Structures are given as structure tokens and as C-alpha cells.
A and B are shown apart, each in its own frame.
Chain A
């Protein structure tokens, strides 16, 4: 079974600064997807970024980028130029590429606060 670990329960960043959120995972599969989701107080999960394991190039979406280290099974999220609206819970998640469905396995999440 796959597991996702987020060991930092909370992080804080100054507005306009950069912050990195850590995630490690464990799997025996070679093909899979990794995700970062944002969950504001409204509870609605929003996809931030997605990485296919077979792609060596790290995914980037505007101010969000990842550092994907497949051998180390590490998948960190970097948020540049942090904004007040970035404050939320962030979840790292995994799904199988070849499985019968794309069910997500989530980490415990990290609470990010942004200081004005």
C-alpha cells in the first residue's frame, strides 16, 4: 500500500517571501501521479499542482513549483511571492497510474499561515 507523509504540521511565511512544504511517500510502483491540494476554511479541495512520475521535469504553475526527487521519494512544494490568500491547509497526495481507478492517498496536511 502507498503512504504519504507530511511531517510538518504547521508553517508560517512572511508575505512576499518563499516557503517550501515537504512531503515524502512510499510506493513500490514506478508510474504514478503526485499532487498538492489546497484546502481553505471553506473545506473545498483545490488542485494546486500535479506531477507525473515518468516526467523528469519538475511541474510549475505560476508561483507554485515542485521539487520531485523520485529516487528519494520526495515531493516538496515551493510557493514564491507568498500572498495572504495562500493561507490554508495543504495536502500532498498520491495516485496510481496503472490502478483500476485514480483514488487519492493523502498525507495529514500542513497548515500554512501568511504574515502580513
Chain B
């Protein structure tokens, strides 16, 4: 595939459960970003990876949120003990370089019941 892909497209879970959201960036893109978009709002930055390392995780709301990118390609956003307030669309974007254009995936819509 040529673009950024995210799975699943939709995820419904119950309060207190653990979820994993996956992002497959464009091949060769070293920079990867996660954003969260709540209903009626613009996306908000969560975390930035340059290669395998989380270079900036200042946007993660609390320690229930964690993300990894072990081989510098696919990234997984992990949310523990989900809360209803975590319901949102989670967007992933990748870019070829730190300052390059960011290409977005279609997002994962997470609903916590």
C-alpha cells in the first residue's frame, strides 16, 4: 500500500479494558506521529517517534497511554484501563524527515462504553 494504514478502523471496548491501536507508516518514513481527535475538535498531538525512539511524548495525557515502535516502522498505541473520556479518533501520521510533510492515516475510532 502507498499510504499510511491504521487498524482497526473502529474499536468498541468496555471501560477498564486494554486496547492496542496499530499504525503502518509509509515505507521509509522515519518520523511517526500520533494524534487524538475528540468529537468536534481538531487533532491533538500525543507522541512523536524518530526511528525507534519516542523523541517527544509530551502529549500523552497520563500513564495509561503508551506507544512503541520497536523496529522503526509499525507503531502501536496502547491504552490501559480505558475510560469513557478516551473515546476519540486516533490518527497516525508519518513523514520522510523530521520537517517533511505529514501523511495521515484514516484513523481508528475508539469507543469506550
Contact = CB atoms under 8 A, between A and B. Distances in A.
Contacts, number: 59
Given A108-B41, A108-B42, A109-B42, A103 B59 contact: yes
Nearest to B35: A104
Interface residues of B, number: 28
Interface stretch (A13-21, A42-50, A65-73, A76-84): A42-50
B105 to A, nearest CB: 7
Contacts of B41: 108-109
Nearest to A46: B104
Contacts of A50: 101
Interface in B53-105: 55-56, 59, 89, 91, 93, 95, 98-102, 104-105
A47 B43 CA distance: 14
A107 B42 contact: yes
A75 interface: no
Contacts of B99: 97, 102
A101 B31 contact: yes
Contacts of A102: 31, 95, 98-100, 102
Contact of B45 (A42, A100, A103): A103
A50 B102 CA distance: 11
A45 B104 contact: yes
Contacts of B106: 42-44
Given A4-B42, A101-B33, 7 more contacts: A6-B42, A43-B91, A43-B107, A43-B109, A91-B42, A102-B98, A104-B43
Interface of B: 31, 33, 35, 40-45, 48, 50, 55-56, 59, 89, 91, 93, 95, 98-102, 104-107, 109
Interface of A: 4, 6, 42-47, 50, 91, 93, 97, 100-109
10 interchain residue pairs of minimum CB distance? A106-B42, A45-B104, A103-B45, A43-B107, A101-B48, A44-B106, A102-B99, A91-B42, A106-B43, A43-B106
